[in-house]
């Protein structure tokens, strides 16, 4: 591991890891047999890990006061797909719907978006173990609520885990969330597709605001934009550093903070659209199903109407607060 530390706003911490050494010195700790079974499937197929992993942690930055450019946004019905990473001119990043403690439940029985991503990219668990062993911070947000998102570039994706309901394959309710812990060995074998060879992913971990109730406050709305803008801008900066200034950045996200945390899907979509434009990154929004696609499309249309009236970020956020968006309920995962 090589290390450089900065006191500047971006980044506040940077680490570079050799993947093989990282997995060897700090193997992921699987605290549930189903997670270990997935890892065993990967190891039995590949045996080893390769490449260099670039980790950075970023301090919250205020977004620009006005919107000066528009980026592209595509809405996809379905769950995350990982774009090919061999194009140096079009670099893709995938949001990790993070807890304030980075990858905190990766080895547990839980299997929501964060944990699925960590299971498919086993080096993410080793990364956390290495940071903890070195006594380094592992927060994507401080106790005071200040965003400190994390970027992880160049991590191998060793498998794809299908958690959707598949009645015809003996998984009528799927394996998402709390259902994963009770999966049988046959169900796991059928649901886990080992990728040969592994693909390479870039991950940006950002923590959504903790659950609340009633109407969103101005402070909550601003916090979401501060977090997403910092994370997206960090991904763009890493793209330029690793691939050159001419490379474009596409961030893949979805209904971030709208599952276990019960966030408002329309509002959270609008705020990510704004943050992507402010950071000058393209956004690929994975809306999961027909209902999610409809909400995302409505959010995109409303966002376009809002920015047509004003390029001021403050005015736009005031308008959103006045519209009275309300928190939803946790999905229990």
Q: In 3D, which of 288, 309, 287, 308 has the Cα closest to residue 298?
A: 287
The predicted pLDDT at position 85 comes to 58
pLDDT digits (tens, 9 = 90+) for 179-191: 999 999 999 999 9
The SS3 call for residue 73 is strand
pTM, to two decimals: 0.94
Mean pLDDT lowest for which of 2-6, 28-32, 126-130, 157-161? 2-6
* Average confidence (pLDDT) over 63-77: 89
Is 255 part of any domain?
yes
What pLDDT is attached to residue 253?
97
Which residues are paired to 29 by β-bridges? Answer: none
Residue 332 within a domain: no
Task: Kindly state whether residue 329 falls inside one of the protein's structural domains.
Answer: no
For residue 218, being part of any structural domain is answered with yes
Q: Which domain holds residue 154?
A: 2-322
Out of 22-36, 41-55, 281-295, least confident range: 41-55
Query: pLDDT grade, residue 2 (50/70/90)?
Result: very low
Of residues 191, 237, 202, 195, the one with CA closest to residue 61:
237
Residue 289 has pLDDT above 50, yes or no: yes
User: Given this model, what pLDDT does residue 76 score?
Assistant: 92
What's the number of domains the chain is made of?
1
Is the confidence at residue 196, as pLDDT, over 60?
yes
Q: How far is CA 90 from CA 143, 236, 245, 293, in A?
A: 35, 11, 11, 25
**Considering the domain boundaries, does residue 64 fall inside one?**
yes
Residue 124 Cα distances to 43, 154, 187, angstroms: 15, 11, 24
Question: Does the pLDDT of residue 9 top 60, yes or no?
Answer: no
In a domain, 248, yes or no: yes
Among 1, 27, 37, smallest CA distance to 128 is for 27
CATH number at residue 215: 3.40.220.10
pLDDT(257) > 70? yes
Residue 84 is predicted with a pLDDT of 64
The whole-number pLDDT of residue 86 equals 56
Closest CA to 251 of 222, 221, 265, 230: 230
Cα torsion for 156, 92, 194, 149, to the nearest 10°?
Answer: 60
Length of the chain: 333
Are the C-beta atoms of 112 and 177 separated by less than 8 Å?
Answer: yes
Kindly report the average pLDDT of the chain as a whole number: 92
Query: Does 331 have pLDDT greater than 80?
Result: no
Q: Is residue 173 part of a domain?
A: yes
* Domain annotation covers residue 331: no
Nearest-angstrom CA–CA distance, 314 and 328? 25
Residue 19's pLDDT band (boundaries 50, 70, 90)? very high
pLDDT at 288 over 90: no
């Amino acid at each position: 591991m090589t290390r450089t530390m900065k006191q500047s706003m971006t980044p506040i911490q940077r680490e570079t890891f050799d993947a093989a050494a990282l997995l060897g010195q700090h193997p992921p700790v699987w605290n549930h047999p189903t997670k270990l079974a997935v890892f065993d499937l990967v190891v039995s197929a590949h045996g080893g890990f390769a490449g260099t992993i670039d980790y950075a942690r970023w301090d919250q930055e205020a977004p620009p006061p006005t919107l000066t450019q528009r980026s592209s946004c595509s809405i996809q019905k379905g769950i995350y797909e990982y774009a090919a990473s061999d194009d140096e001119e079009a670099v893709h990043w995938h949001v990790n719907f993070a807890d304030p403690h980075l990858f905190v439940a990766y080895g547990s029985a839980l299997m929501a978006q964060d944990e699925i991503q960590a299971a498919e990219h086993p080096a993410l668990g080793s990364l956390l173990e290495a940071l903890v062993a070195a006594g380094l911070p592992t927060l994507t947000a401080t106790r005071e609520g200040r965003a400190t998102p994390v970027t992880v570039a160049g991590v191998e994706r060793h498998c794809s885990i299908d958690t959707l309901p598949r009645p015809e394959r003996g998984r009528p309710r799927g394996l998402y969330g709390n259902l994963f812990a009770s999966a049988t060995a046959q169900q796991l074998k059928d649901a886990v597709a080992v990728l040969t060879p592994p693909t390479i992913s870039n991950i940006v971990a950002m923590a959504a605001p903790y659950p609340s109730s009633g109407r969103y406050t101005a402070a909550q709305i601003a916090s979401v934009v501060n977090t997403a803008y910092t994370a997206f801008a960090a991904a763009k900066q890493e793209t330029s550093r690793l691939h050159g200034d001419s490379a474009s950045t596409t961030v893949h996200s979805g209904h971030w903070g709208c599952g276990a945390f019960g966030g408002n899907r329309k509002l959270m979509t609008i705020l990510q659209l704004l943050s992507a434009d402010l950071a000058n990154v393209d956004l690929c929004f994975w809306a999961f199903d027909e209902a999610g696609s409809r909400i995302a499309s409505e959010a995109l249309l409303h966002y376009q109407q809002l920015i047509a009236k004003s390029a001021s970020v403050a005015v736009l956020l005031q308008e959103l607060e006045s519209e009275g968006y309300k928190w939803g309920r946790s999905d229990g995962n």
